[in-house]
Amino acid sequence: MSKIAIVYGSSTGATEAVAEKIQALFDNATLFNVADISVEDIQDFDFLVLGASTTGVGDLQDDWDIFLPKFEKMNFAGKKVAMFSLGDSASFSTSFAGAMYYLYKALKGKVEIIGSVPTDGYTFDESDAVIDGKFIGLAIDEDNEYDQTDSRLAAWVENLKKQIG
């Protein structure tokens, strides 16, 4: 069975709460706040679920921004990664959930990335997190679409479980 780590960066707690929900949907996942860890803490896990909120204009959450240069040096051999990011699609319709693009950019080509999501059902204008017509991970909007969060998480995690073995 895959060893699963969920690593989140959260400025005001919304991403942390979503990370806890994702943990509850897996049977055996360990939760880490990226602000508190070093690369060694997560090296032994097979599957990494990375979550970040979006700040600035489509920017990566601050704690992740600090950790990212160290993370890029990690040995990703044999691992899989999935990403989620939080955003506000009403106030930031042209940079919605862009944070995960920075994670994607840092890891692309180094590790197998799974968990892309169709944009159907979302309302926004632009997002760096959309590549080839799909979100590169799961976009969550706790500011406007909190009523869809649980069903989005359940569908995403079910799909991930099938792919990690």
Ligand X SMILES: Cc1cc2nc3c(=O)[nH]c(=O)nc-3n(C[C@H](O)[C@H](O)[C@H](O)COP(=O)(O)O)c2cc1C
Nearer to ligand X, 15 or 79 (CB): 15
Q: Which residue has the tokens 């920075």?
A: 102
SS3 call for 52: strand
Task: From 2, 5, 8, select the one nearest 140 (Cα to Cα).
Answer: 8
Which residues lie near ligand X (CB under 6 A)?
A: 10-15, 53-58, 61, 86-88, 92, 95-98, 142-143
Residue number, 95 or 116, with CB nearest to ligand X: 95
Closest distance of CB 59 from ligand X, Å: 7
Residue of closest CB approach to ligand X: 87
To ligand X, the closest distance from the beta carbon of 78 in angstroms equals 30
According to DSSP, the residues that pair with 139 across neighbouring strands are 85
The residue among 12 and 28 lying less far from ligand X, judged by its C-beta, is: 12
Q: How far is the CB of 24 from ligand X (least distance, A)?
A: 17
- The residues that bridge with 5 in the sheet, in sequence order, are 30, 48
Residue partners of 40: CB distance under 8 A and separation at least 6: none
